[in-house]
Structures are given as structure tokens and as C-alpha cells.
Amino acid sequence: MEKRVENKIEDNKSSLALENRKKLTLSGVIEVISFDEQKIDLTTCLGNLTIKGEELKMNKLDVQNGDVIIAGSIASIVYNGKVTKKNNESIISKLFK
């Protein structure tokens, strides 16, 4: 029988460290949405994150732990919205509480 190990990123635990606008270290990354040399879009446990700059490169991507290191000339870091959690309760079970 096959066992699966799921990604264990702690809820609402995220960090962002920018060093000299050249190196960005992130944790709590759930998914890389898009990536090119000028813009990187990520989904984190705290919301969608857009990084803009020039000559952006992903030096490290650890999907298991949610860690990402980005190098390049970083111009802006913007959170775009909140990630909503799915509620596992059905509408019917909510009605009969």
C-alpha cells in the first residue's frame, strides 16, 4: 500500500527577509503561480505575493517546506490578497447545528 506524505506548512506562519534588495528569502510559500526575469507571482499562506524587479532568479525552491530564495534586483514586494481556507462543513450540516 502506498503512503503519501503531505506538505506540512504551518498555518499563517510565513517570513520574508530582504537583504540589500538583492536576495529575498521566503517561507510559507504554497505555490509558484508564474515566473520570469521581471515578475514572480507566488501563493503564500498569508495571501498572494508579487515580486517585481530585474534579472530575478529562483536560487532555491523547496516545495516540501515552502521555502524560496530569489536573487536579482528587487524593486517591489506586494501582497495582493488573502488566501481563503476551504471549510469542510457542508451547508446542510451548518443548518442542523
pLDDT along the chain (97 residues), means of 10: 46 87 95 94 93 96 92 96 57 58
Note every long-range contact of 82-90, with CB atoms under 8 Å and residues 24 or more positions apart, other chains counting. 82/46, 82/47, 83/30, 83/43, 83/44, 83/45, 83/46, 83/47, 83/48
Nearest by Cα to 42 from 17, 60, 68, 12: 68
Instruction: Write the DSSP symbol of residue 94.
Output: H
As a whole number of angstroms, the distance between CA 67 and CA 56 comes to 16
Number of H helices and E strands in the chain, helices first, is: 1, 6
93 three-class SS: helix
Q: What pLDDT score was predicted for residue 36?
A: 94
Helix, strand, coil percentages (3-state) for the chain, rounded to 5, are: 5, 55, 40
pTM: 0.72
Q: What pLDDT score was predicted for residue 85?
A: 52
Q: What's the topology of domain 15-83?
A: Immunoglobulin-like (2.60.40)
